[in-house]
Copies of this chain bind each other. A is one copy, B any other.
Amino acid sequence: MLESTSKTVLHCYPGLVALITAKSGDKQNIMAAGWHSYISYDPPIYGVAVAKERFTHHLIEESKKFAINFVPAEYAHFIELSGKKTGVDGDKFERMFAKWKEGEVTGAPILQSAYVAYECEVIDTNTYGDHDWLVGKITRFHQDKEKFGQDGLPDFNKLQLPLFLGQSKYLIADNATTLKEIDLGK
C-alpha cells in the first residue's frame, strides 16, 4: 500500500548511467553520473548533476565543456571504476585501460567503447542542494549506428545495455528481456 513518509526515498533507477568526461589543459577525467536528462530536442540540450567537489566539476568549470558517454554492458565495469576512484591521483583512463579519442568540438575525451556520445558546451550552471545542475548544448553527436536497428532503437542482438539498479547491481537489457508494446487502439 502506498504510504506517505518524510524519510527520503531515492528511486530513479533502473536507468542508464552517463560517463561524464572533461579536459582542461593537460588534465582530463571521467566520472559516473546517475542523475542526468535530455532537456530539449531542438536545439539539443542535455543536463547532468555533478557535485562541486568532484574533480570533473573543476575541469568543466575551467573548460566550459564536457562529454556524455554511454557504454554497453560489457563495459559496465567502467561505470563502477569511474564512480569509485578519483582523478586527482592520476589519469583514470590509463588505469582503466579505457581507449578514447579527442572530441572534435570540445576536446573532451570520447570513449571508443561508447555506442553513443554527446559533446556539450556549458550554457548554464545552477546549484541546487548538494549538486550543481550543469546544462550543456550538444554540439556534436557520436553513434555506433551498426548497433541500432532501422527503427532507431538499440538492436539487442548486437548491443546489451547496463541499467544501474543500485549497490553495484545492473539489469542487463538484452534480447531475453521481456518486451511489451502498448497498443491503445484507435
Which chain B residue shows the least CB distance to A14? Answer: B173
* Of A1-9, A20-28, A56-64, A86-94, the one with at least 4 CB within 8 A of chain B: A1-9
Contact A5 B184 (CB under 8 A): no
Please tell me which one of the listed residues B16, B130, B184 contacts residue A77 in the complex, with CB atoms under 8 A apart. Answer: B184
Count this chain's copies in the assembly.
2
Question: Are A129 and B43 in touch, CB under 8 angstroms?
Answer: yes
Residue from A4, A5, A77, A84 having most chain B Cβ neighbours under 10 A: A4
Q: Which of B2, B6, B73, B141 contacts A144 (CB 8 A)?
A: B2
Known: A153-B167, A167-B151, A169-B181. A10 touches B38 (CB 8 A): yes
Determine which of B37, B104, B118 lies in contact with A37 in the assembled complex, contact meaning CB atoms within 8 Å.
B37
A160's nearest neighbour on chain B, judged by CB, is B178
A183 is an interface residue with CB less than 8 A from chain B: yes
